[in-house]
Amino acid sequence: METLILSADDSDLYIGGEIIRNGGLVGIPTETVYGLAANALDGQAVKRIYEAKGRPSDNPLIVHICELSQWDSLVTAVPDRAKRLADAFWPGPLTVILPKSGIVPNETSGGLDTVAVRMPSNETARKFIEYSGVPIAAPSANTSGMPSPTCASHVINDLFGKIDAIIDGGECSVGVESTVVSLTGEVPVLLRPGGITPQMLESVLGEIRIAPAVYRKPENGIKAESPGMKYRHYSPKAKVILIRGGFDGYRGYVESHKTPDCLALCFDGEEKLLSVRALSYGGENDSVSQAKRIFAALREADDMGADTVFARYPNDGGVGLAVYNRLIRAAGFEVTDV
């Protein structure tokens, strides 16, 4: 299939919207990561998303909206605490799960009776949804299991020839996927950490619960609260070793375990203190910069032909919880203490 590369200009967004209305797939920028968009209300179109990504069909998609009236039509009701979340954080990197209405096909909800919805803050994304005229189902626009895409070239690498078009809207400003919170039970549950931190959620909701799978590998046989959490994720081809401790311990570990093709994934300024190839994924005390860089850095590790990646353990507070969550998955849930 020929894949059109489009700009974020109005005339190109219009072409993208037309592709969506015709049941096609378009890679689009959002503030978090690039998404692979289809008409969320068209089960056949959504099926093509799973095929293009190689995604297991029981892993539900997030539905993206550009105005609140679309939310009303997708869920059975918008309770007060959901309204307060939307007031505080939409448009923005927050996804809210509620019981779904009859218009949401099973393909979109992965067979569940709930639906995940978010209103992105990226203006190109919102305009694209508006031009499409329908709510947009969009998982991250990567091949399933690969690091999520944070610029158009990542989408081109993974999906060129498999989808109808890609809109180049530059680099994503947040860099990790949205925070996912479920409001289907009594206590709100944080299913995936992102740019909206647990503290920010608590400031609106009061008490929340953090799903165990945010920190640990879900045990075999136990049903994950969010289907996506049971799959291997964000992994470059290289083996990722996540190393917790100070820089001296990290350097000692790297120097004694280095291979000819290894890569040190470190913090700004540490590159020149190591004898191996090194790449920074942000400032040591700057979780926001780490979030923005982490996926591109994991992809770069593959481009550089690294066989082993020695990754510095991030500060896991605030937005850092999202960085930690992505890295621990890339490392197969193993941490090496030094």
C-alpha closest to that of 295 among 154, 195, 170, 196: 154
Judged by CB under 5 A, the stretch of 135-143, 204-212, 253-261, 326-334 that binds Mg ion is 135-143
Which of 13, 25, 61, 201: binder of ligand TXA (CB under 6 A)?
Answer: 61
Alpha carbon separation from 106 to 43, 58, 69, 112, 127 (Å, rounded)? 7, 9, 21, 7, 26
* Cα-to-chain-centroid distance, residue 13: 23
Which one of Mg ion, ligand TXA, none interacts with residue 122, CB within 5 to 8 A by kind?
Answer: none
Q: Applying CB under 5 A, does 140 fall inside the site for Mg ion?
A: yes
The backbone torsions φ and ψ at residue 291, rounded to the nearest 5 degrees and listed phi first, read -60, -40
Q: Measure the CA–CA gap between 278 and 322, rounded to whole angstroms.
A: 23
Which of 60, 175, 188, 314: binder of ligand TXA (CB under 6 A)?
Answer: 60
Q: Where are the alpha helices (DSSP H) in the chain?
A: 10-21, 43-53, 68-74, 80-89, 106-109, 123-132, 152-159, 198-205, 247-257, 287-303, 320-330
Q: Which residues contact 151 (CB under 8 A, 6 or more apart)?
A: 34, 170, 171, 172, 296
Strand partners, 242: 311, 335
**What secondary structure letter does DSSP report for 315?**
P
Which of 65, 78, 82, 115: binder of ligand TXA (CB under 6 A)?
Answer: 115
**Closest approach of Cβ 110 to ligand TXA, in Å?**
7
Task: Mark residues 86-125: x for contact with Mg ion by CB under 5 A, - for none.
Answer: ----------------------------------------
Which of 25, 27, 32, 91: binder of ligand TXA (CB under 6 A)?
Answer: 32
Which one of ligand TXA, Mg ion, none interacts with residue 114, CB within 5 to 8 A by kind?
Answer: ligand TXA
**Closest approach of Cβ 83 to ligand TXA, in Å?**
19
* C-beta of 114 vs 153, nearer to ligand TXA: 114
Q: Which residues contact 298 (CB under 8 A, 6 or more apart)?
A: 147, 234, 235, 236, 240, 265, 309, 330
Are the CB atoms for 150 and 292 separated by under 8 Å? yes
**Closest approach of Cβ 142 to Mg ion, in Å?**
6
Which one of ligand TXA, Mg ion, none interacts with residue 30, CB within 5 to 8 A by kind?
Answer: ligand TXA
HSE value, Cβ hemisphere, 13 Å, CA-based, for 261: 12
Q: Would the CA dihedral through 156, 292, 181, 132 be positive or negative?
A: negative
Q: Which residue has 């005339």 as its token pair?
A: 11
Task: Mark residues 68-107: x for contact with ligand TXA by CB under 6 A, - for none.
Answer: -------------------------x-x-x----------
Q: Applying CB under 6 A, does 121 fall inside the site for ligand TXA?
A: no
Helix (H, G, I), strand (E, B) or coil at 330: helix
Which one of Mg ion, ligand TXA, none interacts with residue 330, CB within 5 to 8 A by kind?
Answer: none
Helix (H, G, I), strand (E, B) or coil at 71: helix
**Closest approach of Cβ 54 to Mg ion, in Å?**
12
* C-beta of 159 vs 180, nearer to ligand TXA: 180
Q: Applying CB under 6 A, does 59 fall inside the site for ligand TXA?
A: yes
Judged by CB under 5 A, the stretch of 138-146, 197-205, 260-268, 327-335 that binds Mg ion is 138-146
Residues at the site binding Mg ion, with contacts judged by CB under 5 A: 140
Which residues contact ligand TXA by CB under 6 A? 30, 32-33, 35, 59-62, 93, 95, 97, 109, 112, 114-116, 138-140, 177-178, 180, 191-192, 226-228
